[in-house]
Amino acid sequence: MTDWNILSQPNFIGMANYQKLLTDQVARVTLFNTFYFTMISVPINVILTLVLAVLLNQKLRGISFYRTAYYMPVITASVAVSLMFMWILASNGLLNQLLGSVGLKPVKWLTDAKIALNSVIGVTIWKGLGMNMIIFLAALQDIPNELLEAASIDGANRFQQFTRIIVPLISPVIFFVTITGVIGSFQSFDLVYNMTGGGPGHATTVIGYYIWQQAFKYLHMGYGAALAYVVFIAILILTLIQWVLRKRWVYSEE
């Protein structure tokens, strides 16, 4: 509730920052981008990591190598990941060269307003696969083999075992991963900052980056704080909605 640029004394301005937020078109675009980022990245991440965990829960030769390889992006610095994909997705980058080799036109992965945000989402999903994979893998290894063996004797195939036994039993873990995924998507910053700087235009500007931009680039600390409170309220509401709906699909032993 202040007008403060860090260098001078803050001036109390009441609800003016929140009123400004209602008329800020960039903030609207940013919130839309953030919700889009969340709705696309979270479901894909949950589904891919669950499938990946099931595949890596098998007794295969060299399975430890594969588990380690999929987890490596998680502990790799965001700057390194950003630079790597900026090279891959550049106009004359590796991906466009591969497309050209099969006769396809190059794609402006990071400079086309209609594609750039999806490119960032793709990199975000790739970097975060290992974390949820480890969580799901731990949950899968906690399922008693006797249940799966009994289902197999009763004639259940692999898909039926997965949908009728595995998914219900690990539904609390799916719920946890979903909530943390939503919270993490609202906090997305580093890949956007490094790869696109919020551009082209504001096509990849998400709320975390916009808060930083207002507070530390333009020194609108009061407005940045107001945006942060809006994000807090949005995350709280989404978390409460998921918490209420969990009773309809999360398995409980009570």
Q: What span, in angstroms and rounded, lies between the C-alpha atoms of 50 and 175?
A: 12
Q: To the nearest whole number, what is the mean pLDDT of the chain?
A: 92
Please report which confidence band the pLDDT of residue 228 belongs to, taking 50, 70 and 90 as the band edges: very high
pLDDT of 253: 59
pLDDT of 47: 95
Residue 252 has pLDDT above 80, yes or no: no
Residue 254 has pLDDT above 60, yes or no: no
Pairing of strands 2-3, 11-12: antiparallel
Contact 111, 96 (CB under 8 A): no
Cα angle at 59 between 154 and 153, to 5 degrees?
5
Residue 217 has pLDDT above 80, yes or no: yes
Question: Could you tell me what percent of the chain has a pLDDT over 70?
Answer: 98
Instruction: Annotate 138-152 with b (16+ C-beta within 10 A) or e (fewer).
Output: ebbeeeeeeebeebe
Question: Tokens standing for 202?
Answer: 């504001």
Question: Tokens standing for 220?
Answer: 């609108």
pLDDT of 96: 95
Give the global pTM. 0.91
